[in-house]
Each structure stands twice: as structure tokens, then as C-alpha cells.
């Protein structure tokens, strides 16, 4: 059973997941601190290139299955038009209400 996005504990993470699921690039960018970074399966990636390819141009969507670490760690079923659906883990670093880093990969 998925956790409703509006029930996610951390406000910044909640806003990021909502932006991904809405396909809203601008709302997504608003969740990030300047200079935010990310990694995928343990390798640092260019955040703008990765999010365009893996989220926005491929219609990415997250169904959150569980959260921990005060809402800054998620297990989600993630799907997009490129890879289909897979179980993923997401960890977020939040400072001042903005996401400074996120790490994702297969769970």
C-alpha cells in the first residue's frame, strides 16, 4: 500500500515527490538548494541531465511504500517510460527546508 504524498513526514521531500509525480520541473527545482547534488546507484550524476532523462522526459512517478529517518529515507516503486517499474531507495539531505543532496538506487 502506497503512502499518500501529502502524508510524507518531511516537507521538502513531500514537495519533491509531489513535483515528480506532477511532472512539474519548476516545482521540483524549488525544492532544491543551490548547488544540490545527487547520485544514482552510488555514482554521482549531473542533477539537471539525470532528472530530465530519468524523471521529466520519461514521465517518472513514485509510489512511496515506506519512509524512515524522519521522512528523509524512502522506499518507493518508481516507474518511467524508459525502465518500467522498479523498487528504489531514496535518501535525502535537507538543510534549511531545501534538499541539498539526494541518493537513489535500486532497493
* Phi and psi at residue 5, to the nearest 5°: -55, -40
What pLDDT is attached to residue 64? 98
E strands, 1-107, in order: 32-40, 43-45, 61-68, 73-80, 84-95, 98-106
The predicted-structure confidence for 32-82, as pLDDT tens digits, reads as follows: 999 999 999 999 999 999 999 999 999 999 999 999 999 999 999 999 999
**CATH number, domain at 73?**
3.10.450.50
What pLDDT is attached to residue 69? 98
Q: How many residues does the chain have?
A: 107
pTM of the model: 0.96
The parent domain of residue 63 ranges over 5-106
User: Structurally, how many domains does the chain consist of?
Assistant: 1
What pLDDT is attached to residue 1? 84
Q: Is the dihedral of CA 34, 16, 69, 92 positive or negative?
A: negative
All residues at 6 or more sequence positions from 82 whose CB lies less than 8 Å from its CB, including other chains: 53, 54, 58
Amino acid at each position: 500500500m502506497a503512502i499518500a504524498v501529502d502524508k510524507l513526514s518531511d516537507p521538502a521531500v513531500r514537495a519533491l515527490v509531489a513535483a515528480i509525480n506532477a511532472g512539474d520541473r519548476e516545482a521540483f527545482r524549488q525544492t532544491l538548494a543551490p548547488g544540490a547534488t545527487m547520485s544514482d546507484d552510488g555514482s554521482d550524476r549531473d542533477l539537471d541531465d539525470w532528472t530530465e532523462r530519468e524523471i521529466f522526459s520519461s514521465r517518472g512517478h513514485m509510489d512511496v511504500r515506506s519512509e524512515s529517518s524522519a521522512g528523509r529515507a524512502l522506499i518507493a516503486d518508481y516507474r518511467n517510460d524508459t525502465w518500467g517499474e522498479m523498487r528504489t531507495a531514496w535518501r535525502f539531505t535537507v538543510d534549511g527546508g531545501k534538499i541539498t543532496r539526494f541518493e537513489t538506487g535500486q532497493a
